[in-house]
Amino acid sequence: MLLNPGWQHWKLQYFSGPFAIMPAFRAGHWAPHRATQHTAVLNAAFHTTIAQLRDLPADSLAEVAFAGRSNAGKSSAINTLCNHKRLAFVSKMPGRTQHLNFFRVEDSRYLVDLPGYGYARAPKDQKHIWQALIGGYLGRRPQLAGLVLIMDIRHPLTELDRSLLDWFRPAGRPVHVLLSKSDKLSRGQALPVLRQVRAELLDAGFAASVQLFSSPKREGVDEAEAVVRGWLGVAKKTPAQGEEAGESTP
Ligand code: GDP
């Protein structure tokens, strides 16, 4: 099976594992669906990039963090949820790959794109900077309402995913897992993975929900959007109220 039961070893293994160096901006993603095709979207716009905890937005009332291994499909998921072609690729621009990137959904409510991890080895001092920033943010940000963890359904719950979850544990907040690239597996292959990830997170003591997600097929978008909206306290508006799909700011 794909899953590794060594949950208790997360912390030990973190620093010996591969570490994220996010590649610079990559092209080659599928063409997004036309904005007018879908009404379910979070209306998000880039707000700020921060490299130090003291720069966290002071006005924030609620935040939802997005995390995942590099290449897991995190940027695509954020873009799909916001029905925006390039929103999360801001986070892949040089100088921003190791930072927290904030996207404003509504006044004082943010999506927070965390650096991808596991892409390549990084120097030791870089790991410490990353740990201080991400660990500090995940464990001690009162406004952080929940964590969306994106995992490629073919490689769920890697050691680094487990390390990240361990950092988030002190927050005592819920986790919502997107098993991304679900279009790569048949239903018969995907459902057992879904069940097993659910069971493992429960065993590990997390209040976690888990769902299938596919950006190109738009599978699971409504479900994920509802979770994020609930955590942020952002109600869905009718088109007449001015939040039609496609209004999001580049
Ligand atoms: P990130 O590094 O986690 O932000 O991952 P990206 O969103 O950049 O996606 C990495 C690669 O996986 C890209 O080539 C995407 O086109 C592809 N990808 C992302 N999500 C999906 C998905 O749901 N299905 C499929 N088939 N490919 C995906």
Mean pLDDT by groups of 10 residues along the chain of 250 residues:
47 37 36 45 92 95 96 96 86 82 95 86 74 92 98 96 94 96 98 98 94 97 97 83 46
Ligand 1 pocket test: pick from 215, 217, 219, 221 the residue with the most ligand atoms within 8 Å of its Cβ.
215
Q: How far apart are CA 179 and CA 210, in angstroms?
A: 7
Please report, in angstroms and rounded to a whole number, the separation of the first and last CA atoms in the chain.
Answer: 41
The closest residue, in CA terms, to atom 28 on ligand 1 is 181
The CA 59 to ligand 1 mean position distance, Å, reads 32
Instruction: Please give the model's pTM, rounded to 2 decimal places.
Output: 0.84
Q: How confident is the model at residue 122, as a pLDDT?
A: 67
Are the C-beta atoms of residues 178 and 72 closer than 8 Å to each other?
Answer: no
Percentages (nearest 5) of helix, strand, coil residues in the chain: 35, 20, 40
Instruction: For residue 27, count CB atoms less than 10 angstroms from its CB and return exposed for 0-12, middle for 13-18, buried for 19 or more.
Output: exposed
Residue having the nearest C-alpha atom to atom 26 of ligand 1: 181
Give the per-residue pLDDT at 131: 84
Tell how far the Cα of 92 is from the centroid of ligand 1, in angstroms.
Answer: 13
Q: 63: closest CA among 138, 115, 149, 133?
A: 138
The protein residue whose alpha carbon is closest to atom 18 in ligand 1 is 73
Pocket of ligand 1 (CB under 6 A): 29-30, 68, 70-76, 116, 180-181, 183-184, 214-216
What are the φ/ψ torsions at residue 14 (nearest 5 degrees)?
-60, -50
DSSP run (H or E) holding 100:
strand 100-106
What pLDDT, on the 0 to 100 scale, is given for residue 52?
94
